[in-house]
Amino acid sequence: MGMRITILGTSGSAPTKDRMMPGVVLTYDGSTMLFDCGEGSQMQMMKYGINFSKISAIFISHAHGDHIIGLAGLVRTMAMNRRSADLDIFVPRGYEGIVKTLISFDKALMTYRINIHGVGSGVVYEGKEFNIRAFHLNHTIPSCGYVFREADRRRFIVEKAKKLGIKGAMHSELQGKGWIKVGRRRITLQSVTTVQKGKSFVYATDTRPSRRTVAAARNADLLIHESSYSESEKALARDRKHSTAAEAAAVAKAAKVRRLVLIHISARYSSVGSLEKEARSVFMNSEVARDGEVIVL
């Protein structure tokens, strides 16, 4: 089952001619989920081939306008397309009312139920083979990061199973019972399988570098982390509770993630080369995201 992540927007606070407002789409085994919904998110989804009618859940990091304003237009378009399935929206606890006000201006058009969930930390959403957990970030208002974690799977060691005479329906019997008898030999599931660790993706914006993020992202396949400023603006980052590229890279390094992708770039930077260079000086496998970039895990 492939995990496909599409970056809708990489700018922070205000758009630029090249970068739109924050938004990331995750598709996995038929499920489509949206992380943040900045202004223009539905246009970006149309541009990059995302069917937003299939979105089952939206995870909002915090209630600042650049992360939620796109919700108003998106839920309205879903209704105009005659959506009937429920939509779940997750937002830091205490800010449910802001989201409700934002999306309820056009009640007459609603063709489906919208469930708004206030979240703190812990598992907030579960699918057939995955779950999504929230954790606290360090920003000027209550904010949450999110961890998508795929379930671990057992895979047969084909040659070993074959050598022991396991074939056909015996595989499913072994999976169901946990053991099987072949001749006089009792064979356990553990002896002929290996555990394939599920993949994980972490979304963390807006925030100062945080030990909570390091813990949440431990050994993750992908960390998407904000990088509002360069090191020359470190004092501003600290004051506004954002991160520099190098600080985000330090989080990735401490967490031992496989890959770091930087978003939420301040509109003051017309070129992102210096930010990428700063991040790579700390953690080599770093990059600044581009709008429309697709990452397959």
CA angle, corner 122, sides to 29 and 7, nearest 5? 45
- CA nearest neighbour of 141 among 202, 93, 211: 93
* Catalytic (active-site) positions: 66
Q: Report strand pairing: 260-263 vs 222-226.
A: parallel
Q: Report strand pairing: 31-35 vs 23-28.
A: antiparallel
Comparing 13 with 55, which gets the higher pLDDT? 55
Q: What is the pTM of this model?
A: 0.90
Given the candidates 3.40.50.2300, 3.60.15.10, 3.40.1190.20, 3.20.20.70, the CATH classification of the domain at 3-152+197-296 is 3.60.15.10
Distance, in Å, from the CA atom of 192 to the CA atom of 155, rounded to the nearest integer, reads: 9
Peptide bond preceding 291: is omega within 30 degrees of 0, i.e. cis? no
At residue 167, the pLDDT reads 74
* pLDDT at 132 exceeding the cut of 90: yes
Q: For residue 198, how many other CB atoms are within 10 A of its CB?
A: 17
Domain ranges of the chain: 3-152+197-296, 157-194
Distance, in Å, from the CA atom of 250 to the CA atom of 216, rounded to the nearest integer, reads: 14
Distance, in Å, from the CA atom of 137 to the CA atom of 241, rounded to the nearest integer, reads: 10
The DSSP line for 70-126 is HHHHHHHHHHHTT--S-EEEEEETT-HHHHHHHH-TTGGG--S-EEEEEE-SEEEEE
Q: For residue 253, how many other CB atoms are within 10 A of its CB?
A: 16
* pLDDT at 170 exceeding the cut of 80: no
Average pLDDT over residues 131-147: 98
Distance, in Å, from the CA atom of 88 to the CA atom of 82, rounded to the nearest integer, reads: 17
Distance, in Å, from the CA atom of 198 to the CA atom of 220, rounded to the nearest integer, reads: 10
At residue 107, the pLDDT reads 65
Q: Residue 249 — φ and ψ, nearest 5°? A: -65, -35
At residue 238, the pLDDT reads 97
Contact by Cβ (8 Å): 107, 76: no
Tell me the HSE value of 252 on the side-chain side, using a 13 A CA sphere: 33
What pLDDT, in 10s, does the model give residues 209-218? Answer: 999 999 999 9
Distance, in Å, from the CA atom of 156 to the CA atom of 289, rounded to the nearest integer, reads: 37
Q: For residue 129, how many other CB atoms are within 10 A of its CB?
A: 14
What pLDDT, in 10s, does the model give residues 177-209? Answer: 777 777 777 877 777 667 778 999 999 999 999
* pLDDT at 20 exceeding the cut of 90: yes
At residue 1, the pLDDT reads 59
Q: What is the DSSP letter of 190?
A: G
Average pLDDT over residues 10-19: 93
Contact by Cβ (8 Å): 133, 203: no
What pLDDT, in 10s, does the model give residues 76-123? Answer: 999 999 999 999 999 999 999 999 999 887 766 788 999 999 999 999
Average pLDDT over residues 126-130: 91
Mean pLDDT, all residues of the chain: 92
Question: What six digits make up the tokens of 57?
Answer: 């859940």
What pLDDT, in 10s, does the model give residues 144-158? Answer: 999 999 998 877 667
At residue 188, the pLDDT reads 76
